[in-house]
C-alpha cells in the first residue's frame, strides 16, 4: 500500500477513534480498541445503554464504510492499527513495558526465525506469553505464512486492555481461529499446547508475587525476582524439545544476573545459541538498549553450536553493512 493511501486511512481511523473517545469519555487506547472491534466483527458501531449516542453511531458508521478495510491486505491493516497505537502511546503516555514492538525489530526477529527454521512446509505452532498489542506476533506469523508454513499461535498477557486490542487486531487482520488469546498472568500454570517457537518482547523489571516466583529456578532467594528471567524460563517450559526461543531482552541481561540463577537454569535446560545487540539508533538512551536472545531447548538432538553468535547488529540505515550482517547470519544458521 502506498504511503498516501495509508495516511488517508489513518485520518479516517483517527477521526473515528477521537469521536468515540469524546462521546464515551475514555482514553485514546480504549477508544481505539473498541473501534477495531467494531471494524473487525460487524463493521458498524456497537451501542450499549444508549452509548455512544445515536448521532455518534451514525457518524462512525459513515467513517467505517469509507474505510473499506475488506479490500486491504493483512499487512496494510496491521500498519494502520500500528499508527493508531503510536498515537495512543503519545496521547495516553503509555508506559514503556506496554509499548508496541517496532516493525524494524519484529522483521529482524522474523528474518532470524526464517534462517534457522528452514522447512517451509512444516506446520508451526508459536507462543508469545507477553503478547501486548500483538504486533510482534502478527509480523512473525505473516512472514512464516507467506513463505508457505501453516501457522497457529497462542498468546497470553495479563493486561486486559492490551489483550483485547491484540485479539481485535488479529480478527481485523483475518487470522480467525489461528490465534488463541488468553487474559492471564503468564507465570501461572497455563493450558497451552507445546510449541515449536517461542517469541516475546519481554517486559523489564521485578515481578511482585514472590510466592509464585519461588516456583521458578530463575527466582532470587530473597526479594523480588526479575520478571524477564521468569518469563524466559516459562516460555522454554512450554516449548517442544529442541524448540527455539527468540526474545527481545535488556542489553545487560547476563550482567544483571548477580546471583547467577539465570545462567544456572540455562546450563540445565537450554543452549545459548546467540545474543545480538540491537543498534543504538533504535533507542532513546543507552539504558533502554536491547538485544535479541536466541535459545534452543535441550532434547530431540539439539546441541550447542560450535560458535555462539555474539555481536552488534549494524545500523539499519547502513544498507551495505546490513546486507553483510544478514549474509553472515545466514551462513551461521546453516
Report the pLDDT value the prediction gives residue 85, as an integer from 0 to 100.
Answer: 93
Q: Is the pLDDT at 58 greater than 80, yes or no?
A: yes
Whether a cis peptide bond, with omega within 30° of 0, leads into 268 is no
Same domain, 156 and 135: yes
Close Cβ partners of 160 (under 8 Å, ≥ 6 residues apart): 183
- CATH of residue 134: 3.40.50.150
Rounded to whole angstroms, the Cα distance separating 220 from 316 reads 37
Confidence of residue 22 (pLDDT cuts 50, 70, 90): very high
Cell, residue 195: 510449541
Grid look-up 555474539 returns 310
123: Cβ–Cβ under 8 A, 6 or more apart, which residues?
Answer: 149, 150, 151, 152
- Residue-wise pLDDT tens digits, 115-158: 999 999 999 999 999 999 999 999 999 999 999 999 999 999 99
Which 3 state secondary structure label does DSSP give 32?
helix
Residue 242 and residue 228 in one domain: yes
Residue the block writes with cell 553493512 = 321
Pair 211, 84 in one domain: no
Q: What is the pLDDT of residue 287?
A: 82
User: Where on the phi/psi map is residue 204: left (φ > 0), alpha (ψ -120 to 50), or beta?
Assistant: beta
Q: Do 85 and 7 reside in the same domain of the chain?
A: yes
Is 110 found in the same domain as 32? no
Please count the structural domains in the chain: 2
Strands (E), the chain: 124-128, 151-157, 179-183, 195-201, 206-207, 225-226, 239-250, 270-277, 290-297, 309-312
**Structural domain of 133:** 96-333
Residue 80 has pLDDT above 70, yes or no: yes
Nearest-CA neighbor of 106 among 43, 214, 200? 200
Are 202 and 53 members of one domain? no
Amino acid at each position: 500500500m502506498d504511503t498516501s493511501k495509508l495516511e488517508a486511512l489513518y485520518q479516517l481511523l483517527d477521526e473515528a477513534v477521537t469521536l468515540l473517545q469524546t462521546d464515551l469519555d475514555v482514553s485514546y487506547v480504549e477508544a481505539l480498541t473498541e473501534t477495531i472491534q467494531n471494524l473487525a466483527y460487524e463493521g458498524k458501531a456497537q451501542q450499549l445503554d444508549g452509548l455512544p449516542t445515536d448521532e455518534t453511531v451514525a457518524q462512525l458508521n459513515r467513517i467505517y464504510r469509507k474505510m473499506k478495510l475488506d479490500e486491504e491486505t493483512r499487512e496494510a491493516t496491521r500498519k494502520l492499527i500500528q499508527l493508531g497505537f503510536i498515537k495512543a502511546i503519545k496521547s495516553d503516555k503509555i508506559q514503556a513495558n506496554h509499548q508496541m514492538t517496532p516493525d524494524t525489530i519484529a522483521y529482524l526477529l522474523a528474518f532470524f526465525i526464517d534462517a534457522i527454521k528452514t522447512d517451509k512446509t512444516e506446520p508451526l505452532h508459536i507462543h508469545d506469553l507477553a503478547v501486548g498489542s500483538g504486533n510482534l506476533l502478527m509480523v512473525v506469523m505473516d512472514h512464516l505464512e507467506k513463505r508457505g508454513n501453516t501457522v497457529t499461535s497462542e498468546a497470553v498477557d495479563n493486561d486486559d486492555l492490551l489483550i483485547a486490542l491484540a485479539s481485535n487486531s488479529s480478527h481485523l487482520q483475518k487470522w480467525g481461529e489461528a490465534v488463541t488469546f488468553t487474559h492471564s498472568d503468564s507465570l501461572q500454570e497455563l493450558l497451552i499446547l507445546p510449541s515449536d517457537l517461542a517469541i516475546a518482547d519481554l517486559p523489564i523489571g521485578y515481578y511482585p508475587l514472590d510466592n509464585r516466583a519461588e516456583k521458578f529456578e530463575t527466582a532470587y532467594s530473597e526479594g523480588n525476582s526479575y520478571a524477564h528471567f521468569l518469563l524466559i524460563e516459562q516460555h522454554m517450559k512450554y516449548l517442544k524439545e529442541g524448540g527455539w526461543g527468540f526474545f527481545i531482552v535488556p542489553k545487560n541481561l547476563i550482567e544483571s544476573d548477580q546471583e547467577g540463577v539465570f545462567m544456572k537454569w540455562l546450563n540445565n535446560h537450554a543452549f545459548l545459541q546467540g545474543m545480538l545487540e540491537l543498534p543504538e539508533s533504535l533507542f532513546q538512551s543507552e539504558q533502554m538498549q536491547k538485544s535479541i536472545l536466541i535459545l534452543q531447548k535441550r532434547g530431540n538432538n539439539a546441541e550447542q553450536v560450535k560458535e555462539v553468535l555474539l555481536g552488534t547488529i549494524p545500523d539499519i540505515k547502513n544498507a551495505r553493512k546490513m546486507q553483510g550482517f544478514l549474509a553472515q547470519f545466514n551462513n551461521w544458521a546453516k
